Chains A and B, each alone.
Chain A
């Protein structure tokens, strides 16, 4: 019996076709991606690989609506294709395009799962469905529906654009005629395919993965939210460059180990950038090309960026450069011994080319560092509030997640992050000073509600035992849904869901309200908070709370210590209208009305299954916490007026295209990424 191969090897571009036309980079641009082997005869039909390629996670559908034609789908199991590690990279063969998007998207998913420690699920579809409860007439109810595969359209439009559509659960890639500013860089009018760019594919795939983890991050409730989406997608694409070992070695040799100098690894979407008329890549984490002097120069943060730049890409670039700088400082630290060895202790390398051994060692360090940094960035997502994220929240998430997993930060990774954020003026709100201790979320005081928490934790342990060994993604979705919403069928054991338990255990608990910042007592209507009549609360004045996600995080740190946590995210919605009085002070009127604004509160609860503790409650409060301390429940005025202010600023700051065509910040449902990416 021959064993199944662990990987499928597929050839593709490390960057994009433009680097294959350049003598210096052609050698390193053609690489072989190793993606998880999906078997055409897998006993589980959901996991089979079919022509397209269509597999467990992805379905590539190469329909080109601009010509109303399908292109023949590639069969990766064709013996000739198998025998030569996939089709040869080629711009003129759409089947190679399909192979390329599949290979890069699968690689991105794999890297994500490694950091996350669980399978990637796409964001579910929220639909109104008829639901019949206890023999009552069917009622339309919002239900989340499992989406097994992300669809990829490699040739979806003729425009210099590519985007993730949260509505279609699909990636749409465009192609267009190049309009280079400099004809020596690219042939004018040549067709440029965004689906052949590793960076663009990885970027868009990451948007989709992030949407699967935090659905509310597509709602621009502060200047950081969409910027975060963009930045995160860039970060994943960037650090993926470091997994291509030949590219990495080549660039280490070219820069003599100084990755802060201009290099390919820090650049994103080169062909695209040139094709739309720039002089270089679309984005660059470490430097910029000066149009006047026509030279590249490194970016120096001046601490002002975070206050100055509001456009999501520009703002996102601040976060990207902060993370990249953290990476660079850790890398420099890790190779300092190598440099000393190679330079007889001076730390200054001799002139000329580096020895290949040194290059290999440095590349290994760079690769390892990149993996660590990327994992830190991914893990932090579980430690972020479910709504209204800011860069500061993200920094706290990074530090907290890392502190939980890695007790001894011997190489000062965390300091490197804090330092890079500080240099760009990114400070979390609500902390007194910048230190690892104050950035780490504190363990909440649960003394008055420990009994209820124990009940919840015990229930979550049941969840853990059921989910722990489940690898099928559709089953994971089902189990999650069952434990959130409960199971009340007649022919299955009854399960009271987490939703019901939380609402009932903490009903009227002001202490839980203080922890979460959400309303758990009667009086929702007066606050403009959506009401619910679930579980017999039929007077219509009880608040609605929705549980967005339930995850198990089982991770092992470098010292062998294990983290066993359950992560629950909750969201509550309020509607209000806001205006300014004579002194331009905001006046908030709760409730739905013409021109109302929807404000979201949310909380991420992290339970530790070993110590039976509620370990963290990371909250974006809907309620005013100070008033709550006095026993009064009021909408959080600060967050409401910040949202209002942001909506106003967006009207001023948006591009002319957005101003003209979009519905404005209050309508997040209309292809937010399509608008963001339109050039």
Chain B
């Protein structure tokens, strides 16, 4: 680590990598011109390949010498962690001194274990349903089924889109459970990646936790906002607080569906049958069977339609995992300025920050308890939640409270590398326009700026021309780089 004459960190250089839709950040805390503390947050991307991650790993190594003082692993989705697997050989040579995970990765915490056990069952059912649906695509099942229909191609396209969407949702889940066993924790996974080595210090953080006085990061305090320890909040992904109160119910397990999928895998009968066995039709030649199986009437059959229920389950599952994101506020002690990194936290997480949570803050040498509105009001850097989707940033409980004139934001969204299904939900136009306004144009995106801007400019929003110019200009400076970068000053403007 480079030595410095300054005693306290006075700025932080935030580098966002262009890995596609997915997060990979390098934060270098500077004392003067020298970095004194290197911090990484996540490394992953949807549809990112090994060469791309290798380039990123090399760049990080060049900047840091391969010594990372602190790695934050926010949550288990592939678009946040798959880089560690894909560029494993390069990361092997790194030294990660300390790694932080959320409390949900603690295998000695009963709440966490309970939660993981639930998710294991859901995950298995999803895997089974998704595998079955993909077999239908491979067999050209729908082409055959709709062969005779006028506009049958539209039906085929519709099914294909559906199955591809559910597959890419399921591909986000990198942790896989073995039958009968709970999911591994991320700590286990990162040992497997060889990121966590013998000397690496692992810490599991809970909301309300504070860390300070980290070697090399003097003057910087880390506050843990989330994930909440309440299941119901983890499940909550839409809020009445949002501009769009979409009518979707909470994420819950549907035992009926799960047991059926489970039955389909294991062949176990008893768990899945909804009626007494006497009601089963025993006659194998009954007319009604013949009617159902009539050649030429395949278009009426419903053999696989029930598996589409996995779609809404996959979606709820994804959202609930987003809510396990380790959300952090990083603060310059002297100026009280805050960098906010909520990862992919959804509404339930944002809401939980406001629920009786207080953090000890040092103001003029005194410790004062502060709630979340204090941190939001002092936020000068915001890592936009969940790739600019409408549910990744709360409105009245979030963005509305970020009132600093100095706000800069960075969002990871790249149409060139994205989950198909996300194309329709990201960016949210209202959120994008509001962010650009609040940041006076200082919004970085890691994909093509023009494309994302034109996608945001719907009829119902207005983006100022001056802001748009500023935003384009920011991006022009990094056209030939594999990253975008900004420096957040630790001092308030005089």
Contacts and interface: CB of A to CB of B under 8 A. Distances in A.
13 contacts: A70-B286, A72-B281, A92-B275, A95-B279, A126-B151, A128-B149, A155-B274, A158-B254, A314-B247, A656-B391, A657-B315, A661-B162, A661-B165
Given A156-B305, A670-B155, A169 B260 contact: no
A66 B288 contact: no
B256 interface: yes
A176 B306 contact: no
B469 interface: no
B161 interface: yes
A260 to B, nearest CB: 26
A580 B48 CA distance: 34
Interface in A310-352: 311, 313-314
A546 B154 CA distance: 20
B261 to A, nearest CB: 8
Given A175-B256, A277-B250, A648-B458, A127 B288 contact: no
A92 B302 contact: no
A648 B424 CA distance: 11
Interface string B278-309: 01111000111101100000011111111011
A315 to B, nearest CB: 12
B162 A175 contact: no
A191 B275 CA distance: 10
A71 B421 CA distance: 37
Interface stretch (A57-65, A375-383, A400-408): A57-65
A158 B275 contact: no
B312 interface: yes
B311 interface: yes
A157 B305 contact: yes
B260 to A, nearest CB: 4
B302 A153 contact: yes
Nearest to A143: B150
Contacts of A22: none
A67 interface: yes
Interface string A532-569: 00000000000000000000000000000000000000
B425 A656 contact: yes
Contact of B148 (A64, A128, A189, A654): A128
A276 interface: yes
B472 interface: no
A127 B150 contact: yes
Contacts of A127: 148-150
B315 A94 contact: no
Given A126-B149, A667-B157, A679-B249, A67 B273 contact: yes
A308 to B, nearest CB: 13
Contacts of A126: 149-151
A674 B311 CA distance: 12
Interface residues of B, number: 67
User: Most chain-B CB neighbours within 10 Å: which of A95, A659, A668?
Assistant: A659
A504 interface: no
Contacts of B231: none
Interface in B140-168: 146, 148-152, 154-155, 157-159, 161-162, 165-166
Contacts of A153: 302
A69 B302 contact: no
A179 B316 CA distance: 15
Contact of A276 (B162, B249, B291, B305): B249
Interface string B248-283: 111010111100100110000000111110011110
A671 B157 CA distance: 12
Contacts of A155: 274
Nearest to B145: A167
Interface string A652-679: 1011110111111001111100100011
Contacts of A129: 148
A73 interface: yes
Interface in A113-171: 125-129, 142, 151, 153, 155-161, 165, 167-170
B288 A51 contact: yes
A142 B425 contact: no
B291 to A, nearest CB: 6
B254 A70 contact: no
Interface size class of A (residues with CB under 8 A): 35 or more
B281 A69 contact: yes
B246 interface: yes
B165 A176 contact: no
A472 interface: no
B105 interface: no
B151 A159 contact: no
A177 interface: yes
Given A127-B150, A661-B161, A654 B424 contact: yes
B280 A72 contact: yes
B255 A66 contact: no
Contacts of B154: 663, 667-670
Contacts of B166: 661
Nearest to B275: A94
A142 B279 contact: no
Contacts of A667: 154, 157-158
Contacts of A176: 254, 256-257
B465 to A, nearest CB: 14
B276 A92 contact: yes
User: Most chain-A CB neighbours within 10 Å: which of B157, B166, B238, B254?
Assistant: B254
Question: Which 10 A-B pairs have CB atoms at the shortest separation, nearest pair first?
Answer: A670-B158, A157-B306, A660-B421, A70-B281, A659-B424, A66-B260, A126-B150, A669-B154, A159-B309, A158-B257
Nearest to B319: A656
A63 B161 contact: no
A652 B158 contact: no
B288 A73 contact: yes
A151 B158 contact: no
Contacts of B248: 655-657, 679
Given A70-B288, A94-B279, A159 B246 contact: no
Given A158-B260, A311-B247, A128 B280 contact: no
B42 interface: no
B213 interface: no
Given A661-B162, A661-B165, A167 B149 contact: yes
Nearest to B150: A126
B407 to A, nearest CB: 25
B302 A172 contact: yes
Contact of A175 (B150, B165, B274): B274
A678 B150 contact: no
Contacts of B149: 125-128, 167
Contacts of B299: 125, 167-168
B287 A71 contact: no
A336 to B, nearest CB: 39
Interface in A214-233: none
A365 B285 CA distance: 52
Contacts of B256: 158, 175-177, 191
A50 interface: yes
Interface in B421-475: 421-422, 424-425, 429, 458-460
